[in-house]
Amino acid sequence: MELFDLPLIWAFIIGFGIIMYVLMDGFDLGVGILFPFAPSEEDRDTMMNTVAPVWDGNETWLVLSGAGLLAAFPLVYSIFLPALYIGVFLLLAGLIFRGVAFEFRFKANTSRYLWNWAFAGGSTVAAFAQGAVVGAYIQGMKTADGVFVGGPFDWLTPFTVLTGFGLLAGYSLLGATWLILKTEGHLQAWAYKLTLPLLAVVLVVFGVISVWTPFVDELVRDRWFSNLTVIWVLPALAMLCALQIFRSVRKRHEGMPFVATMGMFIFTYLGLLVSRWPYVVPPDYTLWDAASAYESQLFLLLGLLFVIPIVLTYTAWTYWVFRGKVRAGEGYH
């Protein structure tokens, strides 16, 4: 007898891991995207030092979510990987280039400019690939009998290109508000100057995506226009967060722009989940269809109950240790 709805529990765990990754790795990807536009090389040092102590820990959530997806929902993995091989490869290649650049840039002299581009390029490619993968999930995948039957470039469409650029803009906004929180002086002033234009770009791009989505996804169209009193609360809350970003930047608050930007991401993410629930491989398979055996999910869940508190604890401890402003000439390296 099954005492718990384990697919539902696993869906919550994986969903939590994904949003934790988006929020925590999103701002350091955003810093990388903004890297080429920094006022000076010294400012680039400071920007990198704001994320150097935490960037690798942030990616723990990506590993946890990916491993959990493979263990708990193998059907999702078996369909998504063939459908998104190229997009996932670009994502991982970008993360690799960015990770190597963290260590080599601080030790390089004549080749430092190359590592600047590796850091910025890796961050940009990884962010764009993540957005394109989300777009591919929204538009759905061709499946038959639990197998992907489409082509290798089905994921790359005008819609997914737009979602890729949308996430680039969103991560850039998250990175700019992070710099407001962690820096001071002319670098902080530069981040303040960037934030409102980036917010405008994010709102325009996500507005276009919202209008376009019902035309590529019938399920979303039905959900959003048949549950006006419930589902539309989420984008409304996202817009309130955008308004808070605008107000807090105008008033030169330091922490609120970053918090409000995270809120905008959270409500947008919840809106996506509610739109597709309970389908994990749109448009055919629910999370119960894709779940592994009950015994397998239970065994892995018992182990994960120990892992997640440890990850949360060392993550909180790291951010506490490296709290406060990062100034020029100071930092992790």
Answer yes or no: is 332 within a domain.
no
How many residues are recorded in the chain? Answer: 333
- Please list the residues that pair with 144 across neighbouring strands: 147
Answer yes or no: is 122 within a domain.
yes
Answer yes or no: is 3 within a domain.
no
Provide the whole-model pTM: 0.90
pLDDT tens sequence across 137-183: 888 777 777 777 878 888 888 999 999 999 999 999 999 999 999 99
pLDDT tens sequence across 223-253: 666 655 566 788 889 999 999 999 999 999 9
Answer yes or no: is 56 within a domain.
yes
CATH number of 172's domain:
1.20.1630
Q: Which amino acid makes up residue 173?
A: L
| Both structure tokens of 100 | 């190597």
The Cα 181–Cα 250 span in angstroms is 15
Answer yes or no: is 278 within a domain.
yes
pLDDT tens sequence across 256-272: 999 999 999 999 888 88
State which residues form the domain around 40: 9-321
Task: Give alpha helix (H) positions in 106-157.
Answer: 112-139
Answer yes or no: is 216 within a domain.
yes
Where residue 221 falls among pLDDT bands split at 50, 70, 90? Answer: low
Give how many domains the chain has, as a whole number: 1
Answer yes or no: is 1 within a domain.
no
The set of residues, in sequence order, having a beta carbon less than 8 Å from that of 36 and lying 6+ positions away, is 116, 117, 120
Answer yes or no: is 175 within a domain.
yes
